[in-house]
């Protein structure tokens, strides 16, 4: 039995809290790996590198709490203007289809708006920060580095560069999400789609838990095929076949691990911090 639902909105509080907590857990793991790598490469630097853990974790927390809230807020606002994303569930659990065009449009618009907001904020904050860095470099006798930094800043501040970044963000994210959605739909048609345990409360649907293996495999397939497409393009452009193969395998493995960790972290955090709630409307 299949049912089609429209994703109307997301609960900002639950989405922001859980997404931030998952990102923090990722940052703890990645920072420990980085510190261990530094310690192996240079044992004398292990003491100093320990400070990286707190820096990475706190930085991730501050950045993710903003971006997660922003994504949810923008989605809820855009859902009133754009055609909603349609999700098809099999037996009320297995996500068997995602509407590709709507998903790509929402993702591309949200990321593009975030890029514009970051640019507007940088107009106010970066000049002071850059001025301080430039003065420090000049006083320390690093004129060459200061000049190189100045050249990069001038290039990035050009209206043409800014326009390329903004339009590039929209086009690239739209194309990749569109392709990823089609790949997922083809894969899910085989009966191996991601499985979510859902519960209804009032007008909201809570994600109680996620099947770890199903989500990891779905991530791996989408990530692996997208990397395969990029590898083929690279080979046509004269790229190295060994590098292409490494990228394909690496993309598959990293996507599998990311998908599995996201599901594991969510299942661990949701009972403690609150489950993500979505407004799903039956079609």
Q: Is there a contact between 30 and 56 (Cβ–Cβ < 8 Å)? A: yes
* pLDDT given for residue 126 in this prediction: 58
What's the whole-number mean pLDDT along residues 106-112? 95
End-to-end CA distance of the chain: 14
pLDDT at residue number 146: 56
The rounded Cα 221 to chain-centroid distance in angstroms is 17
pLDDT band of residue 155 (cuts 50, 70, 90) is low
pLDDT band at 125 (very low <50, low <70, confident <90, very high): low
**Looking at 34-38, 93-97, 150-154, which range is the least confident one?**
150-154
The residue with greater pLDDT, 52 or 229, is: 229
* Phi, psi of 281, deg, nearest 5: -105, 130
Predicted local distance difference test score (pLDDT) of residue 55: 80
* Predicted pLDDT at 171: 94
Burial (CB < 10 A; 0-12, 13-18, 19+), residue 189, is exposed
Question: Considering only 20-29, 30-39, 124-133, 268-277, which range has the smallest mean pLDDT?
Answer: 124-133
Contact between 53 and 31 (Cβ < 8 Å): yes
Confidence category of residue 31, pLDDT binned at 50, 70, 90: confident
Nearest to 72 by CA among 18, 118, 9, 17: 9
Q: Give the pLDDT confidence of 207-244 residue by residue, as tens digits.
A: 999 999 999 999 999 999 999 998 888 888 877 888 88
- CA–CA distance, 251 with 226 (Å, rounded to integer): 8
Q: How far apart are CA 225 and CA 231, in angstroms?
A: 10
- Residue 58 pLDDT exceeds 90: no
pLDDT at 86 over 90: yes
**E runs forming strands in the chain:** 2-10, 85-90, 94-98, 196-201, 204-210, 277-282
Q: What pLDDT shows up at residue 48? A: 60
Who's near 185: CB < 8 A, 6+ residues apart? 96, 97, 98, 100
- pLDDT tens per residue across span 2-15: 889 999 999 999 99
Region 182-209: mean pLDDT is: 91
Q: pLDDT at position 100, please?
A: 96
């Amino acid at each position: 039995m299949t049912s089609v639902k429209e994703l109307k909105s997301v609960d900002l509080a639950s989405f922001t809290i859980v997404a931030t907590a998952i990102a923090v857990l990722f940052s703890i793991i990645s920072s420990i790996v980085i510190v261990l790598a530094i310690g192996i490469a240079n044992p004398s630097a292990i003491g100093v590198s320990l400070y990286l853990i707190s820096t990475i974790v706190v930085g991730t927390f501050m950045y993710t709490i903003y971006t997660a809230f922003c994504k949810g807020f923008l989605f809820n606002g855009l859902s009133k203007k754009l055609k909603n994303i349609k999700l098809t569930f099999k037996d009320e659990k297995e996500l068997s289809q995602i509407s590709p065009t709507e998903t790509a449009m929402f993702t591309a618009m949200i990321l593009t708006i975030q890029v514009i907001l970051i640019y507007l904020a940088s107009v106010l904050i970066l000049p002071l920060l850059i001025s301080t860095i430039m003065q420090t470099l000049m006083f320390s006798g690093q004129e060459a580095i200061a000049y190189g930094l100045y050249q990069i800043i001038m290039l990035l501040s050009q209206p043409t560069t800014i326009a390329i970044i903004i339009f590039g963000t929209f086009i690239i994210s739209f194309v990749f999400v569109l392709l990823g959605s089609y790949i997922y739909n083809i894969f899910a048609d085989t009966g191996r789609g991601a499985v979510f345990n859902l519960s209804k409360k009032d007008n909201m649907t809570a994600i109680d838990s996620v099947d770890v293996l199903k989500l990891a495999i779905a991530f791996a397939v989408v990530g692996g095929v997208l990397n395969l497409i990029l590898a083929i393009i690279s080979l046509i452009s004269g790229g190295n076949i060994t590098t292409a193969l490494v990228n394909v395998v690496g993309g598959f493995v990293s996507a599998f691990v990311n998908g599995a960790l996201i599901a594991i972290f969510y299942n661990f955090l949701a009972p403690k911090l609150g489950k993500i709630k979505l407004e799903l409307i039956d079609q």
